[in-house]
């Protein structure tokens, strides 16, 4: 009831303003001897009266706008009563959320009034002297309550397309009008219900698609506080330049770069929505609000956004509104560079000390050692860090019995929530589930796997703090796993990823390789970008198809195949993350790739000691394994780890299908026989020793 009472109090005040407007219209009509002729002609008497009216209007245009009167005592009492109940009056909530003045609120109530009683429509029509205009229009809202020409002009601006009421969608234009003064207005969707207290979320009734709010906490990342970016922003704010390009940031970091530039320029930031085909309205809004217009350009390289790119190139040369362009790679149309004063800057990647400061600002309650480790392992943008802090805080509150601040476990879980699961058509996400205890390798290979994890963890520190990154000219750690199928190459990649606490992105070669020229390179770039943005390990399984040897150019397609390999070489070298390739035959990999790997690990077929461990691991502790299963006989069979795991699953299925209570030796022999058959190998009875007779039963049924 508080919401309805608030509207009643406001309408009582506005009724007096309506009466004043009606009286004014009545007096104007009474001055005429034949007011009935007004709809049909303009008499000499009317022209004289109208000239006197416009003379009085122009003479008073420069007078100061009168201050609004005090709010009614009943409204103050109602607001105190609502505050005591812990609620906010809906109209007050809209005013606070969207920065509405008292006059803006009055206009909103006047537009809502016909929803309460249709009698308001004829009153409005009488005031504007036109029965065909019964809906509230700009002229009516300007007239009611604005007693001076200066006040009317102020209201005209506030009721325009870029005023808060229409910019946030609380009011929207209805139909088309020949002049803006005659534009009829209606409430935006959900506004009437909100004013009456029937819905409770102000954020759902108003939205400015171009508004860019400064995220909390309002901290400019250290790598964006450079003197060069500050000078560029000041030049943009002073008008020395009106077009600035910030290149090199990933998509998630471009918002921080644009906001840092706008902050240095001393102006707010507005974005150009990419779903708009006509940027004129966005440019006009930035000009009216004295803001910097931000245009992310990565999508403008795409043919799908060709129309918007052309419209931007056609619109910006006609305007002097300051514009900030951001992109991972530059977008420099010649027409824009010719028509505007342009300067650009390559945004530096945050160094280790910058990342440490960013983590400290996002999670000030964490201790230094944890922050140091996070800074080394994750190169996150400001937006990702804020998301991690928010999710970690929510997890801490959800824990209930824990500390009010997020702890390391909450932060680790929040990082996984924020960064993982960004699957695309080119990659498939694998969450590591197996550990080093599941890996069975000879000691030499096992040590190399552990070294890869240690090197990937240490590389950011030695690359940046010790200067090796600039000397080597290469990015992160690269590893090549070779060996026969089933020897543990993919599992090892998963285990290394799990040791690092990261996500594994496996490249889908069927989606990457394309017959169309240039498409394979695009798909490869997408895979690397997804891994870098997700802070994930990138796995090229069965990589021979992509990383094969370059050959002599005998056909036209050979040249393009060699170009693909050359692009892969460059992209592999530039990647800052851990990249793992697996191949059945090392000889198939181009030598140019081989020398770029920090680790080359060959996975041999397991020997008898390894096979014994593999058979033990193949059956879970919960599995009902019969004590008569002869592991000594099984470990003598030449099988890989994957083959042993498959045979164990087949044995379990056979035992369950036969209705037995345990997995016996006959079931295991059946599983082994099936696996040999799948591998097109012959299992000789002599290899089973005393269990050879079970082989006859393996294929029965």
The answer to whether residue 427 sits within a structural domain is: no
| Residue of 561, 565, 564 lying closest to 590 (CA atoms) | 565
Q: What is the largest CA-CA distance in the chain?
A: 126
pLDDT for res 216: 66
| Residue of 696, 685, 649 lying closest to 668 (CA atoms) | 649
The answer to whether residue 430 sits within a structural domain is: no
The answer to whether residue 130 sits within a structural domain is: yes
Q: Give the neighbor-by-neighbor strand order of the sheet with 243-247.
A: 269-271, 292-296, 323-327, 243-247, 342-346
Verify that 335 and 236 share a domain, yes or no: yes
pLDDT beyond 70 at 549? no
Verify that 309 and 411 share a domain, yes or no: no
Verify that 171 and 55 share a domain, yes or no: yes
Where a domain ends, among 314, 346, 378? 346
What are the CA-CA distances from residue 247 to residues 227, 251, 376, 615 (Å)?
A: 16, 10, 24, 54
Q: How many domains does the chain have?
A: 5
In this prediction the pTM is 0.77
Residue 325, beta-bridge partner list: 245, 295
pLDDT beyond 70 at 653? yes
239: left (phi over 0), alpha (psi -120 to 50) or beta: left
Average pLDDT over residues 261-284: 89
The pLDDT-based confidence of 554 (bands split at 50, 70, 90) is very low
Residues 6+ apart with CB under 8 A from 401: none
User: What's the angle, vertex CA 565, arms to CA 551 and CA 570, rounded to 5?
Assistant: 140
Measure the CA–CA gap between 66 and 205, rounded to whole angstroms. Answer: 31
| Residue of 689, 681, 579, 699 lying closest to 634 (CA atoms) | 689
Query: In 347-473, which ranges are E strands?
Result: 427-430
Residues 6+ apart with CB under 8 A from 339: 316, 317
pLDDT beyond 80 at 588? no
Verify that 386 and 446 share a domain, yes or no: no
Verify that 330 and 396 share a domain, yes or no: no
Verify that 325 and 235 share a domain, yes or no: yes
Length of the chain: 701
How many Cβ atoms sit within 10 Å of the Cβ of residue 377?
18
CATH label of the domain that carries residue 241: 3.40.50.300
Give the helix/strand (H/E) hosting 219: none
Share of the chain above pLDDT 90, in %: 36
Verify that 156 and 245 share a domain, yes or no: no
Measure the CA–CA gap between 268 and 261, rounded to whole angstroms. Answer: 10
CATH label of the domain that carries residue 633: 1.10.8.60
Average pLDDT over residues 560-564: 56
Q: How do residues 185-234 score in pLDDT, each as one tens digit?
A: 999 999 999 999 887 788 889 999 899 987 766 667 888 888 999 999 99
Where a domain ends, among 294, 325, 346? 346
Q: How do residues 658-674 score in pLDDT, each as one tens digit?
A: 887 899 999 999 999 99
Residues 6+ apart with CB under 8 A from 149: 57, 58, 60, 61, 63
Q: Which single residue is written with the structure tokens 């234009």?
A: 173
The answer to whether residue 461 sits within a structural domain is: yes
Verify that 597 and 618 share a domain, yes or no: no
Residues 6+ apart with CB under 8 A from 558: 551, 552
The answer to whether residue 161 sits within a structural domain is: yes
pLDDT beyond 80 at 407? no
Residue 540, beta-bridge partner list: 581
Helix, strand, coil % over all residues of the chain, rounded to 5: 55, 10, 35
The pLDDT-based confidence of 266 (bands split at 50, 70, 90) is very high
Share of the chain above pLDDT 70, in %: 84
The answer to whether residue 144 sits within a structural domain is: yes
Residue 663, beta-bridge partner list: 625
Q: How do residues 450-495 score in pLDDT, each as one tens digit?
A: 999 999 888 877 877 777 766 555 568 899 999 888 899 999 999 9
pLDDT for res 555: 43
Where a domain ends, among 573, 603, 633? 603
Verify that 546 and 668 share a domain, yes or no: no
Contact 455, 580 (CB under 8 A): no
| Residue of 544, 422, 539 lying closest to 492 (CA atoms) | 539
The answer to whether residue 209 sits within a structural domain is: no
Specify the pairing of strand 171-174 against strand 184-187.
antiparallel
Spacing of C-alpha 276 from chain mean position? 19
Measure the CA–CA gap between 234 and 213, rounded to whole angstroms. Answer: 20
The answer to whether residue 215 sits within a structural domain is: no
Average pLDDT over residues 383-407: 76
How many helices and strands (H and E) does the chain possess?
Answer: 32, 13
Verify that 272 and 180 share a domain, yes or no: no
Measure the CA–CA gap between 108 and 165, rounded to whole angstroms. Answer: 8
The pLDDT-based confidence of 55 (bands split at 50, 70, 90) is low
Contact 163, 157 (CB under 8 A): yes
Verify that 362 and 316 share a domain, yes or no: no
Cβ burial of 402 (10 Å; 0-12, 13-18, 19+) is middle
Contact 527, 580 (CB under 8 A): no
| Residue of 195, 22, 224 lying closest to 100 (CA atoms) | 195
Verify that 22 and 60 share a domain, yes or no: yes
Range of the domain at 647: 608-698
Contact 663, 629 (CB under 8 A): yes
Average pLDDT over residues 236-254: 91
């Amino acid at each position: 009831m508080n919401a309805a009472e608030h509207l009643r109090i406001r309408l009582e005040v506005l009724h007096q303003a309506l009466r004043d407007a009606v009286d004014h219209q009545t007096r104007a009509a009474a001055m005429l001897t034949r007011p009935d002729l007004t709809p049909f002609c303009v008499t000499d008497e009317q022209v004289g009266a109208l000239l006197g009216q416009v003379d009085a209007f122009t003479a008073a245009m420069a007078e100061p706008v009168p201050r609004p009167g005090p709010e009614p005592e009943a409204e103050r009492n109602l607001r105190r009563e609502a505050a005591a109940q812990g609620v906010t009056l809906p109209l007050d909530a809209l005013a606070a959320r969207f920065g509405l003045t008292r006059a803006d609120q009055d206009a909103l109530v006047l537009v809502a009034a016909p929803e309460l009683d249709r009698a308001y429509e004829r009153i409005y029509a009488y005031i504007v002297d036109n029965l065909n205009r019964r809906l509230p229009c700009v002229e009516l809202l300007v007239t009611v309550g604005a007693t001076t020409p200066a006040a009317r002009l102020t209201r005209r601006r506030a009721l325009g397309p870029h005023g808060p009421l229409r910019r946030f969608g609380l009011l929207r234009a209805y139909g088309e009008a020949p002049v803006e003064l005659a534009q009829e207005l209606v409430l935006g969707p959900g506004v009437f219900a909100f004013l009456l207290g029937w819905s409770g979320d102000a954020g759902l009734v108003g939205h400015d698609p171009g508004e860019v709010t400064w995220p909390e906490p309002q901290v400019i990342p250290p790598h964006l506080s450079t003197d060069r970016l500050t000078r560029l922003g000041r030049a943009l704010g002073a008008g020395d330049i009106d077009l600035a390009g910030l290149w090199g940031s990933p998509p998630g970091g471009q918002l921080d770069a644009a906001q840092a530039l706008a902050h240095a320029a001393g102006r707010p930031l507005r974005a150009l929505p990419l779903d708009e085909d006509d940027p004129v309205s966005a440019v006009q809004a930035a000009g009216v609000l004295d803001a910097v217009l931000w245009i992310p350009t990565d999508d403008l390289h795409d043919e799908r956004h060709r129309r918007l790119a052309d419209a931007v190139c056609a619109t910006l040369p006609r305007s002097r509104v300051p514009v900030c362009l951001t992109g991972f790679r530059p977008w420099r149309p010649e027409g824009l560079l010719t028509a505007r004063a342009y300067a650009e800057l390559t945004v530096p990647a945050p160094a280790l000390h910058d990342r440490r400061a960013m983590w400290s600002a996002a999670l000030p309650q964490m201790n230094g050692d944890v922050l140091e480790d996070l800074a080394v392992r994750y190169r996150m943008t400001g937006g990702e860090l804020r998301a991690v802090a928010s999710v970690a805080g929510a997890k801490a509150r959800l824990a209930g019995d824990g500390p009010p601040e997020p702890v390391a476990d909450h932060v680790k879980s929040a990082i996984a929530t924020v960064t993982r699961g960004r699957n695309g058509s080119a990659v498939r996400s694998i969450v590591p589930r197996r550990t080093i205890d599941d890996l069975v390798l000879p000691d030499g290979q096992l040590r190399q796997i552990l070294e890869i994890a240690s090197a990937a963890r240490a590389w950011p520190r030695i690359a940046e703090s010790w200067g090796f990154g600039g000397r080597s000219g290469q990015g992160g750690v690269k590893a090549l796993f070779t060996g026969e199928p089933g020897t543990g190459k993919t599992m090892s990649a998963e285990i290394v990823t799990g040791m690092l606490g990261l996500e594994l992105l496996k490249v889908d070669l069927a989606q990457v390789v394309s017959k169309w020229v240039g498409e394979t390179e695009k798909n490869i770039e997408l895979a690397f970008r997804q891994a870098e943005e997700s802070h994930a390990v990138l796995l090229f399984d069965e990589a021979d198809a992509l990383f094969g040897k370059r050959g002599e150019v005998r056909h036209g397609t050979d040249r393009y195949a060699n170009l693909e390999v050359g692009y892969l070489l460059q992209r592999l070298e530039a990647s800052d993350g851990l990249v793992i390739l697996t191949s059945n035959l090392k000889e198939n990999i181009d030598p140019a790739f081989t020398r770029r790997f920090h680790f080359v690990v060959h996975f041999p077929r397991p020997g008898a000691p390894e096979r014994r461990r593999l058979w033990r691991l193949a059956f879970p502790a919960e599995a009902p394994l019969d004590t008569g299963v002869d592991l000594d006989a099984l470990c003598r069979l030449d099988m890989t780890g994957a083959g042993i795991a498959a045979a164990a699953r087949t044995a379990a299925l056979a035992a369950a299908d036969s209705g037995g209570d345990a997995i016996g030796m006959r079931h295991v022999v059946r599983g082994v026989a099936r696996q040999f058959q799948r591998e097109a190998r012959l299992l000789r009875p002599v290899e089973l020793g005393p269990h050879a007779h079970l082989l006859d039963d393996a294929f029965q049924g």
